Chains A and B, each alone.
Chain A
């Protein structure tokens, strides 16, 4: 993949801070935006910034067509045969909350079991804790192995006839672990055919080829802003029959068929779950992001990151007293590298890196249970995407060595 031309597509790189270029290594938190996505959003606001569905006038028809076109684009991006299985929400967190609150309230009963993992983002843990509390159900967790892989040795014990839902992250936003969803779903449904699987794909959809049919899961969540799209837009994909069977999440305009004073009827999926005026420009921006990524090809994206991850692991391994968490094999690892440096607090490390515009994140990355499991209050995390290159990784390594010098360790 031709990296210089990819960086050129991102207007933010024109900017210098303290006369130095930006070295952005925090795409796991949010990705940068290509000009084409910005243009698509501006296009809405400058040429047809009207409401959808409501008007017979040309502008409204145009906006509606573009909004639904974005839905089709997104459906095709994840291999969903039916665009009605693609619900626009605010972000992956809202998608997972929708499943917990809508499917969960309707289906989880006292004594039921929900299985999550210790490496999950809070969005795939906390909503389920709440539903479990409400319904008198139990939440159980897959552990991780010492090298940060999902520990599936007790799969047979974890999945019982009481298991109603399994919540799995596709790629860990701290360890970078790529979980073998396809195989896991098969095993889970062999043990209990009634068990549903919700996949948190926030870190995978932006970075690799996803086909929901192939994965075999029942629900899948991801965010637009992590895949070159704008903030405020995300997707819940769900099997049509499931979406059809569960109650709406929010009620009001656009999700109804008819409203009378003493009763209302609701639309079918996906509109059943899209109450009120949606983030129209957000959806259009997400559609443009899908187009941009499609042009590059998700195989190329994955290969680029795999190579760069390998390069980064190799570079970081030269630094004494630095520990990288999660798999060390770039075949099993997304471009997410959380690490700790003995003697320097993650905040201090991130601050020093920032003095050279190297943008990393320090903290628990919305994965407190994972950090508790690792025995760490916080880690520093660098994450890679299509606009990163070996020079960016070199800057990271240089910055870490600079921090060591400053602290005299």
Chain B
């Protein structure tokens, strides 16, 4: 049924989201919600320092939402593991669309970006508190 955006990989990431669950000993966490539809994503991150650069060592998410929001969070968390915080900070809608691999209308793009927003705000928390 490829006339919809619900390709097999999207449904797979929705039904079996990767990195889903609580992260014990997280360095920072933030929840982003879209009250309009009930989508809610909480990001939790643990950092490591690699050659002086801060990287994302472990990352997990929790929450609920539509297939696009959940699949996006699943793909995003997989993608950023081990990456530098600086690089992740520069990620934008284009990166998310590429990860999902499907065309998104403006209204569904909002769903897809929820996890990135939550992640960016999580990273901001550490930035504000660290030296």
A contact set with B: CB distance below 8 Å: 18, 345-348, 351-352, 355, 362-364, 368, 376-378, 402, 405-408
Contacts and interface: CB of A to CB of B under 8 A. Distances in A.
Contacts of B5: 351
Top-10 shortest CB links A-B: A377-B38, A345-B66, A347-B66, A355-B4, A378-B37, A348-B67, A348-B66, A406-B6, A355-B3, A378-B38
Contacts of B82: none
B-side binding surface: helix, strand, loop or mixed? Answer: loop
B37 A362 contact: yes
Contacts, number: 51
Nearest to B107: A347
A4 to B, nearest CB: 28
B11 A406 contact: yes
A345 B4 contact: no
B32 to A, nearest CB: 14
Nearest to A352: B4
Nearest to A378: B37
B37 A351 contact: no
A345 B36 CA distance: 12
23 contacts: A18-B3, A345-B37, A345-B65, A345-B66, A346-B66, A347-B39, A347-B66, A347-B68, A347-B108, A348-B66, A348-B67, A351-B5, A351-B6, A351-B108, A352-B4, A355-B4, A362-B37, A364-B37, A376-B38, A377-B37, A406-B1, A406-B6, A407-B11
Contacts of A406: 1, 4, 6, 11
B6 A347 contact: no
Interface residues of B, number: 18
Contact of A364 (B1, B36, B65): B36
A348 B104 CA distance: 12
Given A345-B66, A346-B37, 7 more contacts: A345-B37, A347-B37, A348-B67, A351-B108, A402-B1, A407-B6, A407-B67
A408 B14 CA distance: 12
A348 B6 contact: yes
B73 interface: no
A405 B6 CA distance: 11
Nearest to B6: A406
Interface string B71-86: 0000000000000000
Contacts of A377: 35, 37-38
A406 B8 CA distance: 9
A117 to B, nearest CB: 21
Contacts of B6: 348, 351-352, 406-407
A363 B4 contact: no
A346 B66 CA distance: 8
A355 B67 CA distance: 16
A408 B67 CA distance: 13
Contacts of A405: 1
Given A347-B111, A348-B6, A363 B11 contact: no
Contacts of A368: 35
Which of A362, A378, A402 has the most chain B CB within a 10 Å cutoff? A378
A378 B36 contact: yes
